[in-house]
């Protein structure tokens, strides 16, 4: 077998142009597959890292109470303390149910001013549940939440705009809350900054330009300025692995509470979005890989044609070998090894080219947060398929060579 491999290399060197043309289809096919799988792997890895920031143990729920057109049949569900208590009793996997109330205000500090911004009244442990990281300072204490303390936690961008000289903790900002009537003056509230949080911007929480206050402060200290109605809530669960199970239980609870309307509550989670994105990425990768794989098929057909020509050209050589005692199996093995050697070489070249090109694409055309991640399993599969392609498409020429009559071959 080793001797056959050496003879194959010798034949490749003898017919350089033919060898190059034979390799081209396999190289293009393997390169295409490697590029597709490596880019998909890099995007998938980046997506996983991004979703790790999303707090996979948080489920968002909402009521259509503010939109009766879509509320469906049954009673309208109201988010209040009774609902929170019932939900947590009904579903033991739920650790917390967070309500929040948002209002708008201008933020002022000395001569610096940020026009209308969203101020969010939050409950205990909400920021911690979202794994928000404190840049400096501290989170609200349990006492701050229970008493509705006049304190605030702000995002880095707000801190940079209002405190360009340095640290914001311990200093004060003023909220100017517009009145519903033009004749009434705006409400002025002074808050002490106790913490500055690092940026975390996802579809469920944004901290860069956020101002957080205790929810009790928003509801009790700002009469008439903050709506007590809550249309959405966040549910923190004990384990992200039970997310889908809890989502089903919430819809069951919705049906029970509303009197028959399973969709009186909408339920959405980062897990659902992640699964949707993973499914889409996988399908796109599969389709593109299949398209790229067609070039492997074309390359295999090209190799079969070249090997058939080779068998025809080397009929005399085959006849001499058979006359000297070579068996049909030995002749067949010789041509199979030549065919497999071609695709093996093309596969190796394709893998190297594919990895280099995909790395170049990621580094030049993709955002910097996407890191190149080669798909080694995809490379191994592409390489194996290329070798199998050589064996499969080389089988017919090899059998044809093995069946040659040595007398007729020598006579020609």
Residue 8 has pLDDT above 60, yes or no: no
- Reduced to 3 states (helix: H, G, I; strand: E, B; else coil), residue 286 is helix
* Average pLDDT rounded to a whole number, residues 286-293: 78
Residue 320 belongs to a domain: yes
Please state the φ and ψ torsions of residue 23, each to the nearest 5 degrees: -70, -30
Query: Residue 280 belongs to what domain range?
Result: 2-51+274-411
Within this chain, do residues 217 and 278 fall inside the same structural domain, yes or no? no
With a cut of 90, say whether residue 6 has pLDDT above it. Answer: no
Whether residue 313 is contained in a domain is answered as: yes
Q: Binning pLDDT at 50, 70 and 90, where does residue 296 land?
A: confident
**In the predicted model, is pLDDT for residue 333 greater than 60?**
yes
Using a 10 angstrom Cβ sphere, with 0-12 exposed, 13-18 middle and 19 or more buried, the burial of residue 129 is buried
DSSP β-ladder status, 211-214 and 112-122: parallel
Specify burial of residue 297 (Cβ count, 10 A radius: 0-12, 13-18, 19+). middle
pLDDT value of position 2: 52
pLDDT reading at 103 higher than 80: yes
Asked if residue 243 lies in contact with residue 56, where contact means CB atoms within 8 angstroms, the answer is yes
pLDDT at 163 over 60: yes
Is position 79 within any domain?
no
Give me the mean pLDDT over the 152-157 stretch. Answer: 94
- What's residue 13's pLDDT? 62
Residue 23 has pLDDT above 90, yes or no: no
How many Cα atoms sit within 13 Å of 13 on the Cβ side? 6
Q: Say whether both 36 and 128 belong to one domain.
A: no
Distance separating alpha carbons of residues 25 and 298, to the nearest angstrom: 7
Question: Domain end: 192, 211, 227, which one?
Answer: 227
In angstroms, rounded to a whole number, what is the distance separating the alpha carbons of residues 198 and 133? 6
What is the token pair recorded at 33?
């597959």
In tens, the pLDDT along 395-409 reads: 888 887 777 776 665
Structure tokens at 73: 């049949």
- Report the SS3 class of residue 132: coil
Establish if 136 belongs to a structural domain: yes
For residues 146 and 205, membership in a common domain is answered with yes
Q: Are residues 290 and 378 in the same domain?
A: yes
Collect all residues with Cβ–Cβ distance below 8 Å to 248 and sequence separation of at least 6.
none
Q: Single out the residue of 106, 214, 198, 203 nearest to residue 155, CA to CA.
A: 198
Q: Is the residue at 179 inside a domain?
A: yes
3-class secondary structure, 194:
strand
Q: What are phi and psi of 176, to 5 degrees?
A: -110, 105
Do both 130 and 194 map to the same domain? Answer: yes
CA distance 215 to 221: 10
Residue 238 tokens read as 């004990």
Phi, psi of 367 (to 5 degrees): -60, 155
Structure tokens at 370: 């996407």
* Statement to judge: residues 23 and 108 lie in one domain: no
User: Same domain for 278 and 401?
Assistant: yes
Residues 67-78 have pLDDT tens digits of 444 444 545 678
Q: Are 352 and 286 in a shared domain?
A: yes
Residues 328 and 392 in one domain: yes
Residue 352 in tokens:
């190297």
Q: Which long-range contacts (CB under 8 A, 24 or more apart) does 14-23 make?
A: 18/306, 18/309, 18/310, 19/342, 21/302, 21/306, 22/302, 22/303, 22/306, 22/342, 22/346, 23/342, 23/345, 23/346, 23/349
Domain co-membership, 302 together with 192: no
Show which of 171, 193, 227 is a domain's final residue: 227
Domain end, chosen from 171, 201, 227, is at: 227
The residues, any chain, with a CB within 8 Å of residue 58's CB and separated by 6 or more, are 129, 130, 204, 234, 235, 236, 237, 269, 270
307 and 187 in one domain? no
The answer to the question of residue 37 being in a domain is yes
What does the alpha-carbon distance between residue 167 and residue 139 come to, in Å, rounded to a whole number?
16
pLDDT at position 382, please? Answer: 81
If asked whether residues 203 and 308 sit together in one domain, one would say no
Residue 398 resides in a domain: yes
Instruction: Please state, in angstroms and rounded to a whole number, the distance separating the CA atoms of residues 155 and 316.
Output: 83
How do residues 316-327 score in pLDDT, each as one tens digit? 777 777 777 777
Does residue 368 sit within a domain? yes
Binned at pLDDT 50, 70 and 90, residue 10 comes out as low
Give the highest mean pLDDT range of 83-92, 108-117, 288-297: 83-92
Number of domains present in the structure of the chain: 2
Q: Residue 257: which H helix or E strand, with range?
A: helix 243-258
Q: What is the mean pLDDT of the chain?
A: 82
């Amino acid at each position: 077998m080793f001797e056959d491999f050496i003879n194959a290399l010798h034949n490749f060197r003898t017919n350089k142009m033919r060898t190059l043309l034979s390799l081209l289809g396999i190289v293009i096919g393997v390169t295409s597959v490697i590029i597709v799988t490596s880019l998909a792997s890099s995007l998938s890895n980046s997506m996983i890292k991004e979703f790790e920031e999303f707090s996979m143990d948080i489920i968002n729920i909402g009521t259509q109470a503010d939109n009766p057109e879509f509320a469906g049949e049954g009673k309208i569900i109201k988010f209040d303390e009774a609902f929170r208590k019932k939900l947590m009793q009904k579903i033991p996997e739920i650790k917390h149910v967070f309500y929040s109330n948002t209002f708008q205000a201008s933020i002022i500090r000395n001569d610096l001013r940020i026009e209308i911004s969203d101020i969010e009244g939050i409950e205990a442990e909400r920021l911690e549940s979202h794994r928000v990281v404190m840049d400096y300072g501290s989170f609200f204490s349990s006492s701050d939440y229970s008493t509705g303390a006049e304190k605030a936690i702000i995002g880095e961008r707000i801190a940079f705009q209002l405190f360009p000289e340095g640290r914001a903790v311990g200093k004060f900002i003023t909220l100017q809350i517009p009145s519903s009537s033009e004749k009434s003056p705006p409400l002025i509230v002074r808050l002490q900054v106790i913490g500055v949080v690092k940026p975390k911007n996802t579809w469920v929480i944004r901290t860069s330009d956020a101002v957080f206050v205790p929810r009790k402060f928003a509801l009790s200290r700002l009469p008439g300025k903050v709506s007590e109605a809550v249309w959405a809530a966040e549910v923190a669960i004990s384990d992200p692995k039970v997310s889908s199970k809890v989502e089903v239980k919430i819809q069951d609870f919705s049906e029970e509470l509303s009197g028959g309307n399973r969709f009186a509550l909408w339920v959405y989670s980062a897990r659902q979005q992640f699964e949707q994105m993973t499914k889409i990425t996988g399908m796109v990768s599969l389709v593109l890989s299949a398209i790229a794989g067609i070039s492997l098929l074309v390359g295999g057909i090209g190799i079969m044609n070249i090997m058939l020509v080779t068998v025809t050209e080397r009929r005399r050589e085959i006849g001499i070998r058979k006359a000297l005692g070579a068996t049909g199996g030995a002749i067949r093995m010789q041509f199979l090894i030549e065919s497999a050697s071609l695709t093996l070489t093309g596969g190796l070249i394709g893998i190297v080219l594919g990895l280099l090109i995909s790395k170049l694409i990621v580094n030049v055309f993709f955002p910097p947060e996407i890191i190149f991640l080669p798909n080694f399993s995809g490379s191994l599969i592409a390489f194996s398929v290329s070798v199998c392609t050589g064996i499969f498409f080389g089988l017919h020429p090899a059998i044809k060579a093995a069946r040659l009559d040595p007398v007729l071959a020598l006579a020609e």
